[in-house]
């Protein structure tokens, strides 16, 4: 688990009331306690994001999370608030993950785990099985996207970060971001349509996919 990686003192009760932006600014001034609290707040989401980006079976995931926050520590003084601190941290994680995939991890089979999202209500075993099958199909389809499409797709549609902030954090114009998201949706929809269906019934997951892609 990522929570076991870094151990920094939180720096007192007042720190817990500070915003993520305050904590990043404090990191830029050398406050290791602020980095510790930022890690506590954001590392679970960063771990989930990197597992989707690099593959849930990647044994280096803990190391990648740690590398992300070390890079946050090194780069914090350059943060200017163009996006939220959370979006900026995810952009740092995206760069770490992209670098990893270009190296020894680039041939690793992707396994993007949307199923790590909490389930709002209990379902029957049969329904859960059908949903896992739909998720697995989407996992495999997302894994085929190039990084320039997969990263914004995960940040906007999975992590639900604001599109305008994601564009700023990734250093691309808003129009470029939305074009990439559109292309990602189109590719995923086509990929999913190419695969055989065991049943013509739409499960909860497949209906969600349809709404996401704007299809009927």
Question: What tens digit of pLDDT does each residue of 36-54 get?
Answer: 999 999 999 999 999 888 8
Read off the pLDDT band of 15 (50, 70, 90).
very low
The Cα–Cα gap between 182 and 110 comes to 22
pLDDT of residue 191: 82
CB atoms within 10 A of CB 209: 21
Q: Which two structure tokens, joined as six digits, stand for 80? A: 């200017």
pLDDT of residue 215: 45
Q: Has residue 168 got a pLDDT over 80?
A: yes
Domains of the chain: 8-80 (1.10.1740), 121-216 (1.10.10.10)
pLDDT of residue 150: 92
Q: How many residues does the chain have?
A: 216
pLDDT of residue 108: 41
Residue tagged 């990084």 (tokens): 147
pLDDT of residue 127: 53
Q: What is the 3-state secondary structure (H, E, C) of 160-206?
A: CCCHHHHHHHHCCCHHHHHHHHHHHHHHHHHHHHHCCCCCCCCCHHH
Region 156-169: what's the mean pLDDT? 91
Q: pLDDT tens digit string along 77-135?
A: 999 989 999 999 999 999 999 888 776 444 443 333 444 444 444 445 555 676 667 77
Integer angstrom CA distances of residue 182 from 3, 72, 150, 188: 35, 30, 11, 10
Lowest mean pLDDT among 41-45, 55-59, 137-141: 137-141
Percent of the chain's residues with pLDDT above 70: 69
Higher pLDDT, 44 or 17: 44
pLDDT of residue 111: 37
Higher pLDDT, 193 or 197: 193
Higher pLDDT, 89 or 211: 89
């Amino acid at each position: 688990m990522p929570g076991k990686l870094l151990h920094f003192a939180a720096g007192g009760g007042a720190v817990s009331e500070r915003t993520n932006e305050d904590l990043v600014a404090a990191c830029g001034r050398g406050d290791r306690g602020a980095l510790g609290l930022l890690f506590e707040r954001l590392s679970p989401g960063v771990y989930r994001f990197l597992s989707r980006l690099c593959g849930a079976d990647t044994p280096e995931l803990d190391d990648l999370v740690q590398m992300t926050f070390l890079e946050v520590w090194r780069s914090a003084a350059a943060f200017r608030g163009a996006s939220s601190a959370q979006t900026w941290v995810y952009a740092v994680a995206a760069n770490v993950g992209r670098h990893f995939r270009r190296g020894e991890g680039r041939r690793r089979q992707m396994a993007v785990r949307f199923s790590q999202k909490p389930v709002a209500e209990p379902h029957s075993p049969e329904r859960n099985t059908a949903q896992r099958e739909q998720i697995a199909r989407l996992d495999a389809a997302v894994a085929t996207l190039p990084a320039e499409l997969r990263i914004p797709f995960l940040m906007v549609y999975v992590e639900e970060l604001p599109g305008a902030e994601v564009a700023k954090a990734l250093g691309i114009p808003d129009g470029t971001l939305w074009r990439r998201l559109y292309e990602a949706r189109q590719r995923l929809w086509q990929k999913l349509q190419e695969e055989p269906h065991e049943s013509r019934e739409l499960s909860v997951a497949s209906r969600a996919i349809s709404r996401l892609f704007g299809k009927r």
